[in-house]
Structure formats: structure tokens, C-alpha cells
Structure 1
Amino acid sequence: MASLLDWSLIDGAVPAGLTFAGGAAFAVLLADGRRVWWRRILPLVLLGMLVLGVLIEVLVNQVWRPFADRVPTNTTLWITMIVGALVLGVLRALPQRWPARIGIALAVVVLAVCGVADINRYFGQFPTVGALFGSGQGPTTDLSQAAKPAASTVVVPPGKALSEVWQPPADLPAQGTVSEVTIPSSAGFNTRTGRVYLPPAYQATPRPKLPVLVLLAGQPGSPSDWLGPGQLATTMDKYAADNRGLAPIVVLPDHLGSELANPLCLDSKLGAAETYLAKDVPNWIRQNLQADPDPQAWSIGGLSQGGTCGLQLAVRAPEVYRNFIDISGQREPSLGTRKDTVNAAFGGDEAAFKRVNPLDILATAKFPRTAGLIVVGNKDGEFRPQQQDVLKACRRAGMQVDWLEIPGPHNWVVWRPALAQAMPWLAQHTGLTPR
């Protein structure tokens, strides 16, 4: 029998039970015998909910546009439902005595929990109860302890992969380590605390010089997203267990600056995000970690806006990153529309945007030494066509690009397994395993 922490929040008994409880709670909020309730109060509240839903769609998705992705209809509906439930609860409770008021308040809380749970089901953010409470993120270790310099390193002969010469010691740890790190910007780009995953093999002496994967969250997002909802430590530990402790070093920098910011991974009026990822982060890695220095062993990737960013850096800094993993990315860096993007980032200078836009660059330049993996959900109606355009542009530019389609829409149901399924491809293209 599965433990409580293993209970699924995506399908099965828990979501079904919450749906039933939410329906019962909504029935409690509606159950008022007053004639004025059915003729005036309830219709006005329902009308207000409809107006709120329209306002969210217009003001958030069309005017403000704080996110690279639009707020989905599922989320809009539940926001209006929860607000409506709160209003109904207050209006139902006013003429009641305290025992009834407590029951009505509980109904509002149950409906709100049901709404939050259903939004989580839509995004796949927390697949289990354990994930909700932070399990699977891996132990946090001070980097000064986890990344002590090794006296010697493994020498890999030309033409060989690291796995072909690697001999793990008997006392190799079963798990990797996760450390919080501060990666400074040379150009004043504001960043939050980053994370670094070091696989078990990093603790060995002689130390294997492992490949590097710089992995980016979506927007809104933070570096810890790949550890929490993304279950990165669990995924990488499993890969390492199947490969005698070997796995890439994974660096999770902050490429946004704040949860709602979107500097587009460009050097523009919005910040020096490109310089941060193309120079500052690689320099920090070289100074603080013993990694494979060959650009062929370096990759950058991410999900959604972070996937777009991975493509951008592969095109803009191919001397640093020879490989990229674009998971559910966009056709181009965007704040909603091309006009809004150009105005915000370059003061309306379309030519300046085209000089840094990956598809415009790919139309005229060749990248025969760059490899990419483009991943998307087969039910992602908005981003799948954009990824197909990216695939065609990359192949026309001479890149070695593969396509991976995973069952699901634009959410963690796709992004979480995407990393695990990308690992064999990544290992072969970075010299970790033979091709």
C-alpha cells in the first residue's frame, strides 16, 4: 500500500474525492430558501463571476500580459469560482446563527481547496502529496563541502566516452548533492539564488570531468522549480544509479530576476540576461567546479520561456553551448506580441530585435557543430506548431536536431519526464556515453 506521501494529486482517489467534496460544498452555498436569494442575490453573484472572468481574460491576458504563457481558462474559471464562493458564503452566513456560519465557512474553504487542487492537476505542478511538501528535492549541501577540489581527474583518451574509462570507487555515494549558490552578474543583472546539482561521481577521486547542463525554469518561475515540480534530483540520481554514478553537473541559474519578470534572455532595456548566461554563469562554473571544459560537453536548456532561452543561447553563444534542449519553447522571445516585445526591449527598433532573434539568425547563418533536442507535448496546441517551426529553422541552418514528443499538454506532465527522456540523447552528445 502506498504511503500518504505517495498519493497522487493528479489522478486517482484524492482528486476524485476533492471533486465530490467541492460539489457538495457548492451545493451547501447555494442552499438558501429565501425567495430574494434565488431571484436577486444569486443571479447578481453569478453575473459578477462572469464579469470577473471576462476582466481576467482581457486585463491579464490581453493588456497586462505578465507571463510568457496566457492564464489558462481552467485557472480563470477557478479564480472566479473561489471569489464567487467567498461572496456567496458571506451573503449566506449573514442571516444565520454561528453553528450554521461555521458550516458555511467550511464549505467555502473546501471549495477553495478543491479549486487549487484542480489548478494543480491542470499544471501538474505537484504530482504527489510528498511533492507538495518538498520531498524529492534532494539533500541541500554547502557547495564548499560538496565541491572540494579533487587532487586528480580522470583522463579520457581521444575518441573515447567518459563512461568507457570510468571506474567508480566502492564508496561512491548513492545520491548526488544540491547546493544553493550565488552567481554574480558582471553587468548589474539582478538575480536570485541559484542551485547546483552534483552527481555521485563528482565526489570520487580521481574525479571525472563531467559535462555541464545549464537548465532554466519557465516564466513565471524560479531556479527551484526544476527541483520541486521538476523532481530533478530524483531524475538525475536515477540516471546516475543506472550509469555507475555518472550524470551531468546541472546548474540552475536565475535568468529572470523575479517571479514575474521576463528579460527575454537578451541584452536590452530589460536587463543584461544574455551576458549573464553567456559569460557570467560559464565563468562561475569554470572557477568553482571541475567540469569538462570542452564546449561540446556544455548544454543549455529549459522549459517554455526557458526553452526559448536555451535556443537563443545556442544560437547567440555557440562557442559556449554546443547543445541545447528546448522543451515547449516559443517561436521567438516574446512578451505577447512582436510589437510589444520590440517596444519594451528595444524601444521600437525592429532591426535590433531581428539581430538577436534566433529564427532570423538561423535564416542566414549555419551551425553544423550544434546539436539540439526539441521536446513538446502532443496536446500542446499553442506551442507544438511553434516548435515545429523551430525544428525546420534549425535543420535548415545545419544543426543536428532531434524531435521528441511526449503525451500531454503545456505543463509539468510533459516537462517532468522530458528531462529523464532527454538524458540518453544528452549523454551521447556531451561525451558522457558513446554515440
Structure 2
Amino acid sequence: MGLTSNKLLLLAVVFAVALFGATLWLWPRLARSHWRVLLGRAGLLLATQFALICCLGLAANQAFGFYAGWADLFGTETNQGIVVDQSANSGTGGPLQVVSTSKVKGGSGADADPQTAGQIQKVDIVGQTSHLAAPAYVYLPPEYFQPQYRTRTFPAAVVLTGYPGTAEALVSKLHYPRTARDLAKNGRMQPMILVMLRPTLAPPRDTECVDVPRGPQTETFFAKDLPDALLAHYRVGKRPGSWGVIGDSTGGYCALKLAMRHPGTYAAAVGLSAYYSAPIDPTTGDLFQGDRNLRDHADLRWLLKHEPAPDTSLLVTSSRVGEHNYKDTLNFIREVRATDRTRISSIILDSGGHNFNTWRREIPPALQWLSGQLTDR
């Protein structure tokens, strides 16, 4: 059974309840002070607590999408996302391949038609320059399939998870496709293509969207390879003003950095609960290999002070209570406002933690704002 399987969670709950019942049943028999009896009591308590912790862990993982499977959890993934040559005669060449399609949930039963509900395509993307590969989900709005729009191009938003997050959570937990469809249907945003994926392209390593010296060229993948692959496959606007990027936590930092360092690609970015410089910890390893210039250019506040202000629009979010980035976000806003070209907006909640519930409150207005920054040409 998979790590995110409902059957596994149910089995864990049943096992925990059974252990609890066994503890109540056996406790009177373990009332003596013999060392074996004491060991038996300690074993029952530890086993029951371990079972409860497993239940909580599995439930939290299902709710927040931290790990996609057992290999992801234990860090045993061996696929480093390196492109493998494919047969030229296989008929599957190209930087983007559609693996499967599904409908957008949350509508009526009649919404299976893409012209009514849109469509989600699971795709594999390979980077022609970075030599990295990544799975992703692409949401195509209903208008994409309607005959009257057959020659129209659409703005695109790259949507990034946090670390270690899963791309599936952007669809099933944060409801990006459903939210985008409903907002466009109500006239609150223009129809947009969403490209949803993890910022981690060399799992289990957290690369923080950095071109690591002699390592994964993650920034190049998002700045060049991903737009090239989408332009080759979908009717996406070709001008810089047609592209935006949004993400939460690590994905929020990546989104802001991509727009600030590559304004010719991304006209706008949204950082939900973002931080503003790349951390160095056991999950990242040495991202900069002693290169101080590379480290400085991964610090967004350093960029504002030492580089020309980029011509891009940014939206940042935080909460007065519950978010650790509140003060940093206020400082970042103040520093952006001091520039002459970069535009800044914000969503500041009274309270809200670093979690899916908070981001679900911020995503609708953030998508509406992002839509207003982009053109369809």
C-alpha cells in the first residue's frame, strides 16, 4: 500500500485502536512489580503511542502532501531527473509528453466535458538545456477547448509547491484548477493555463531553484526549459507579459526569485508565506560551492540593494500571528517600495499558520491579482 493510501491510514487507525484496547485489557494483569511485568507495561505504552504517532503522521501527510511515497519519505529516490535519450522513431519525442488526462473536480456530473470544465493533463517535461526532467500537472481552462477560442493564446502561471511537497497536492489539496475555473467563470479573472509542479527537480535534495555548480541546473530549467516546453506544446502567450509564477513556502521564494532574476520571462510572481534567501541545511547541501556571488544572487533583499530593480510585479503574503516571515515580509515590502521599477502588493492576514488552510484563503485573491498582471498575447 502506498504512503498516501486511505487503506493504509485506516489500517493504522484500526491497529492503534486494537492496541489501546489490549492495553486496557491487559493492564490489571500487569499490576505486579516484577521486572518482566514492568517491561510489559512499558512495551504496551510505547507500542500504543507509536501507533498513534503513525496515525497522526499519515493523516498529516495526506492533508498537507509532504511526501508522495515511501521512497520520498526515506530519501531513497534514485532518479535524479537527468534526461535520457529517447528513440527518434518512437513517436514520443519532444520536451513535453502528456501521460494522462482527468477532469477538474468540484463541478456537476455534466462537467466531464473539457469545453465546460476544462481539463487536467499529467505531463512529463524534459529540459533541453538543464538536462533535468520533471512530472507536472497542466490545467487547461474550458475556453482552451471551445471552438470560438481555437486561435487564441492564453496566459500561463507556473505553480510551485513547498518542500518536500507533491504536485498532486496543488490539485487535490490546494484546489488550484477548481479555483481558477470558478474565478474565471464568475468573471473575476481571465482564463489561464496553470502548470503545477515541485520546485525540487533532483529529489530528495532541496535545490531552492538554484543552478548548483557541478550540480542540478534548477534555475535554468524554470527560467528557460519549462517555458520552451510549454510554448512548443500549448497555445501560450509568447510575450513576457503572458507569464507569471506563484508558489508557497519554498515555492514562494522560488517564484519571487524567478521574477526578479528573469523579468524577461516572468512578468509577475506571488510568494505565499515565502522567505527571501536560500537556506543551507541538510536537505539542500552546499548549494553554492563557496561561490559568494552565487549566494548573494540567491538573496532577494541583496538583489534589491545591489542590482538594478527588475521590471516585474510581486505579491507577498504573511500573517500578523502564526507566520515566522511577518517581519521579513514587511522589510521586503519596504525595500521594494524604495526601488523605481519593481511593483509590490501584499496580503496580510490577522492570523494564519504556515499551512494549506492559510494558503487556501490566499490563493483566490492571489490568482485574481496575478491574472490582472498578465496578457493573453
Corresponding residue number in structure 2 for 1:179: 121
8 Å CA contact retained: 1:143, 1:180? yes
- What is the distance in 1 between the residues matched to 2:99 and 2:54? 41
- What is the distance in 1 between the residues matched to 2:22 and 2:165? 32
Corresponding residue number in structure 2 for 1:422: 366
Corresponding residue number in structure 2 for 1:61: none
Question: Is 1:400 aligned to 2:334, yes or no?
Answer: no
Question: Is 1:333 aligned to 2:333, yes or no?
Answer: no
- What is the distance in 1 between the residues matched to 2:239 and 2:286? 36
With the length of structure 1 as denominator, give the TM-score of the two structures: 0.62
Structure 1 alignment gaps of length 5 or more: 1-16, 46-83, 90-106, 127-141, 147-170
Counterpart amino acid of 1:260?
P
After TM superposition, the structure 1 = structure 2 runs for residues 29-428 of structure 1, keeping only pairs within 5 Å, are 31=27, 32-36=30-34, 40-41=38-39, 87-88=46-47, 111-112=52-53, 114-116=55-57, 119=60, 143=98, 173-207=115-149, 208-243=152-187, 246-269=190-213, 270-336=215-281, 344-367=286-309, 369-398=311-340, 399-406=342-349, 407-428=351-372
- What is the distance in 2 between the residues matched to 1:233 and 1:397? 34
8 Å CA contact retained: 1:316, 1:356? no
- What is the distance in 1 between the residues matched to 2:50 and 2:250? 35
**CA deviation after TM superposition for structure 1 residue 387, in Å:** 2.5
8 Å CA contact retained: 1:310, 1:326? yes
Identity %: 21
DSSP 3-state at the match of 1:173:
helix
Q: Deviations over 1:130-163 (max 9, x none)?
A: xxxxxxxxxxxx95998xxxxxxxxxxxxxxxxx
Counterpart amino acid of 2:307?
A
Q: Deviations over 1:172-204 (max 9, x none)?
A: 822111111122112454333111110111112
8 Å CA contact retained: 2:100, 2:123? no
- What is the distance in 1 between the residues matched to 2:258 and 2:192? 19
Counterpart amino acid of 1:386?
D
Which of the numbers 25, 28, 31 marks the counterpart of 2:24? Answer: 28
- What is the distance in 1 between the residues matched to 2:37 and 2:325? 44
DSSP 3-state at the match of 2:317:
strand
**CA deviation after TM superposition for structure 1 residue 259, in Å:** 4.5
Corresponding residue number in structure 1 for 2:86: none
Would you say how many aligned residue pairs link Structure 1 and Structure 2? 315
8 Å CA contact retained: 1:373, 1:401? yes
Corresponding residue number in structure 2 for 1:14: none
DSSP 3-state at the match of 1:359:
helix
Q: Deviations over 1:3-24 (max 9, x none)?
A: xxxxxxxxxxxxxx99x97996
8 Å CA contact retained: 2:117, 2:181? yes
Q: Deviations over 1:22-66 (max 9, x none)?
A: 996696389342324799538977xxxxxxxxxxxxxxxxxxxxx
Structure 2 alignment gaps of length 5 or more: 1-12, 67-96, 102-112
- What is the distance in 2 between the residues matched to 1:117 and 1:263? 26
Counterpart amino acid of 2:222?
L
**CA deviation after TM superposition for structure 1 residue 414, in Å:** 1.3
- What is the distance in 1 between the residues matched to 2:18 and 2:242? 50
Counterpart amino acid of 1:290?
R
Greater strand share, structure number: 2
8 Å CA contact retained: 1:222, 1:259? no
- What is the distance in 2 between the residues matched to 1:298 and 1:345? 27
Corresponding residue number in structure 2 for 1:77: none
| Shift in CA distance, 286/378, structure 1 to aligned 2, threshold 3 Å | same
**CA deviation after TM superposition for structure 1 residue 292, in Å:** 1.9
**CA deviation after TM superposition for structure 1 residue 356, in Å:** 4.0
DSSP 3-state at the match of 2:174:
coil
8 Å CA contact retained: 1:217, 1:226? yes
- What is the distance in 2 between the residues matched to 1:191 and 1:408? 34
**CA deviation after TM superposition for structure 1 residue 353, in Å:** 1.2
Over aligned residues, Cα RMSD in angstroms? 3.7
Corresponding residue number in structure 2 for 1:97: none
Corresponding residue number in structure 2 for 1:79: none
